[in-house]
Chain A
Amino acid sequence: MKITLDADKCCAAGQCVLIAPEVFDQRDEDGVVVLLDAAPPAAQHDAVREAAAICPATVIEVHA
Chain B
Amino acid sequence: MTARPIAVVGASAAGLAAAETLRRSGWRGPLTLIGEESHLPYDRPPLSKQLLHGAWEPEKLRLRTEEQLAPLDLDLRLGTRATGLDVATRTLTLDGTERLACAGIVIATGVAARTLPGADRLTGVHTLRTLDDALALRDRLINGGTPASEGVAGGGGPRQLVIVGNGVLGCEAAAVARELGHEVTVVGIEETPMAAAVGTDVGTLLAEEHRARGVRLLTGAVDGFDSTPADPADGSGPQVTAVRLADGGTPGSRLPADTVLVAIGSRPAVDWLTDPALDTTDGLRCDAYCAAAPGIYAAGDVARWNHPAHGRPLRFEHRMNATEQGMAAARNLLAELAADGPTGTEDGTPAQERRPFAPVPYFWSDQYDLKIQAYGLTAGADRVETPVRDRAGRRILALYGREGRAVGVLAAGLPPRQIRALRAVVADPLPWEEARERIAAATAAG
Asked whether, in the complex, the Cβ of B43 is within 8 Å of the Cβ of A54, the reply is no
Cβ–Cβ contact A56 & B371, under 8 A: no
- CB interface residues, B 398-446, toward A, < 8 Å: 415-417, 419-420, 423
Q: Which chain B residues lie closer than 8 Å to A53 at the CB level? A: 17, 20-21, 323, 327
Structural contact, B45 and A56, CB atoms closer than 8 A: yes
Number of A-B residue pairs at CB separation under 8 A:
51
Neighbouring B residues of A57 by C-beta, 8 Å: 43, 45
| Interface status of A11 (Cβ within 8 A of chain B) | yes
Instruction: List the A residue with the shortest CB-CB distance to B365.
Output: A11
Which B residues are CB-close (under 8 A) to A11?
A: 45, 364, 366, 371
Contact A14 B320 (CB under 8 A): no
Interchain nearest-CB distance for A51 vs B (Å) = 11
B63 on the A face (CB < 8 A): yes
Query: Which residues B306-328 have CB closer than 8 A to chain A?
Result: 319-320, 323-324, 327
Per the bound structure, the CA–CA distance linking A11 and B258 in Å amounts to 32
Interface magnitude class on chain B: 20 to 34
Of A9, A12, A56, A58, which contacts B416 at CB under 8 A?
A12
Residues of A with C-beta under 8 A to B60: 9
A5 to chain B, nearest CB (A): 14
Q: CB-CB < 8 A to A15: which residues of B?
A: 320, 362
A31-64 contacts to B, CB under 8 A, are 31, 53-54, 56-58
Q: A27 CA to B324 CA in the complex, in Å?
A: 25
A15 to B360, CA, bound (A): 11
Inter-subunit contact A14/B419 (CB<8 Å): yes
Chain B at the A interface: SS class: helix
A13 touches B327 (CB 8 A): no
B343 at the A/B interface (Cβ < 8 Å)? no
How far is B324's CA from A14's CA once the two chains are assembled, in angstroms? Answer: 15
Check A13/B43 contact, CB under 8 A, given A28-B416, A53-B327. no
Contact between B320 and A12, CB atoms less than 8 A apart? no
B159 to chain A: closest CB distance in Å? 27
Q: How far is the CA of A31 from the CA of B18 in the complex (A)?
A: 28
| Distance of A11 Cα from B419 Cα, bound (Å) | 13
A15-B420 Cα distance, complex, nearest whole Å: 8
Using Cβ atoms and an 8 Å threshold, which residues of chain A touch B83? none
Q: Are B415 and A28 in contact (CB under 8 A)?
A: yes
Q: Which B residues lie within 8 Å of A14 (CB)?
A: 416, 419-420
A-chain residues with CB within 8 Å of residue B253 when the two chains form the complex: none
Q: How far is the CB of B109 from chain A (nearest CB, A)?
A: 20
**A contact residues around B80 at 8 Å (CB):** none
CA distance A41 to B43 in the complex (A): 30
A31 partner, pick from B43, B319, B419, beta carbons under 8 A: B419
Whether A13 pairs with B320 at a CB distance below 8 angstroms is yes
Check if A3 is an interface residue, CB within 8 A of chain B: no
B45 CB → nearest A CB, Å? 7
- Indicate whether B373 reaches chain A with its CB closer than 8 angstroms: yes
CA distance A13 to B321 in the complex (A): 13
Closest to B414 in A: A31
Indicate whether A56 sits within 8 Å of B420 (C-beta atoms), given known contacts A11-B364, A12-B364.
no
- Complex Cα gap A27–B415 (Å): 9
Interface presence of A1 (CB below 8 A): no
The docked-state distance in angstroms from the alpha carbon of A11 to that of B437 is 28
* Alpha-carbon separation in the docked complex, A13 to B20 (Å): 22
In the bound complex, CA of A24 to CA of B49 (Å): 25
Contact pattern, B 58-100, Cβ under 8 Å of A = 1, otherwise 0: 0010010000000000000000000000000000000000000
A12, B373: Cβ atoms closer than 8 Å: yes
* CB closest chain-B residue, reference A9: B60
* Distance between B76 CB and nearest chain A CB, rounded to angstroms: 18
Give the 10 A-B CB pairs with smallest separation, nearest first. Answer: A26-B416, A31-B416, A56-B319, A56-B320, A14-B420, A28-B415, A14-B416, A58-B63, A11-B364, A54-B323
A-B contact pairs, 17 of them (CB 8 A): A11-B45, A11-B366, A11-B371, A13-B364, A15-B362, A18-B420, A28-B415, A28-B416, A28-B417, A31-B371, A31-B416, A31-B419, A53-B323, A54-B320, A56-B45, A56-B319, A56-B323
* 17 additional contacts (CB under 8 A) given A9-B60, A53-B17: A11-B45, A11-B364, A11-B371, A12-B373, A12-B416, A13-B364, A14-B416, A14-B419, A26-B416, A26-B417, A31-B371, A31-B416, A53-B21, A54-B320, A54-B323, A56-B319, A56-B320
